[in-house]
Amino acid sequence: TQSTRPQRLLGAVQKNATRGDPCSVVKAIDHFCRHKEWAMNVGDEKGCILDSVVSEINPATVLELGTYCGYSTVRIASRLPPHAKLITLEFNPDFAVIARQVIAWAGVEEKVQLVEGASGDWIPKMKEQFGIKTFDLVFLDHWKDRYLPDTKLMEECGLLRKGSVLLADNVICPGTPEYLEYVRNSPRYESRYFKSHLEYTKVEDGLEKSVFLG
Ligand SMILES: O=C(NCc1cccc(CNc2ccc3[nH]ncc3c2)c1)c1cc(-c2ccc(F)cc2)cc(O)c1O
Ligand SMILES: [Mg+2]
């Protein structure tokens, strides 16, 4: 039977990356997606912006919405301080199966909790299920029409504190117009656009970094 693109991406990691070396996992995925098959990872160019935001915040608690194959999960987890926790939500079970193996190959599973399900169901349960008070960083990379409703839900559930950072992928391509309008016009956020390109292409895309002001 035919393999899926995530399965072929995992194969490239197992063939070309060194177990326990997150950087080699990231490089193997980028090489595969640039030279073999495009895939919707945040990619190397936007990934460097993600890295700098993570290093700047040095977060103790991170929420990632949209794991896919675990590429950004590995990038973030490999930069977290000891005892920091990254919770990553994935709705698609086939993606989750692959992501767990990519995360394990990179050797960052200690810092990562992959939860299968939808953001709308899990965000209200974060505090009771995982003992989370607030998130220092949220990386939004799931269904683009969920960015705004989930941001409002996180506000309502008290998961954001003064200084919490939202970092949103794909605000240009595929685009998240309602989300952008909200964070750029709300007095409760200080928002900034980091211009870049759609992963592995010359098409414009970028990340929006929005600090919650409380
Ligand atoms: O759409 C995108 N990603 C989201 C996505 C997509 C499919 C499935 C899932 C299922 N995972 C999922 C769902 C709901 C969820 N709720 N909570 C967790 C959670 C997890 C998620 C995307 C697309 C493009 C793109 C494609 C084509 C093109 F031409 C240009 C650009 C580039 C990207 O960087 C992208 O990130
Ligand atoms: Mg994305």
In the chain, where do the E strands start and end?
61-65, 85-90, 112-116, 137-140, 165-168, 189-197, 204-212
pLDDT value of residue 1:
85
198 lines ligand 1 (CB under 6 A): yes
Query: In a 3-state reduction of DSSP, which class is residue 57?
Result: helix
Question: Is 141 considered catalytic here?
Answer: yes
**Cis amide bond preceding 174, omega within 30:** yes
Q: Whose CA is nearest to atom 24 of ligand 1?
A: 40
pTM over cut 0.90: yes
pLDDT value of residue 172:
99
pLDDT value of residue 190:
98
The one-digit pLDDT tens for each residue of the chain (214 residues) are 899 999 999 999 999 999 999 999 999 999 999 999 999 999 999 999 999 999 999 999 999 999 999 999 999 999 999 899 999 999 999 999 999 999 999 999 999 999 999 999 999 999 999 999 999 999 999 999 999 999 999 999 999 999 999 999 999 999 999 999 999 999 999 999 999 999 999 999 999 999 999 9
Q: Whose CA is nearest to atom 7 of ligand 1?
A: 143
Cα–Cα distances in angstroms (integers) from residue 144 to residues 25, 168, 207, in the given order: 26, 9, 13
Query: In a 3-state reduction of DSSP, which class is residue 150?
Result: helix
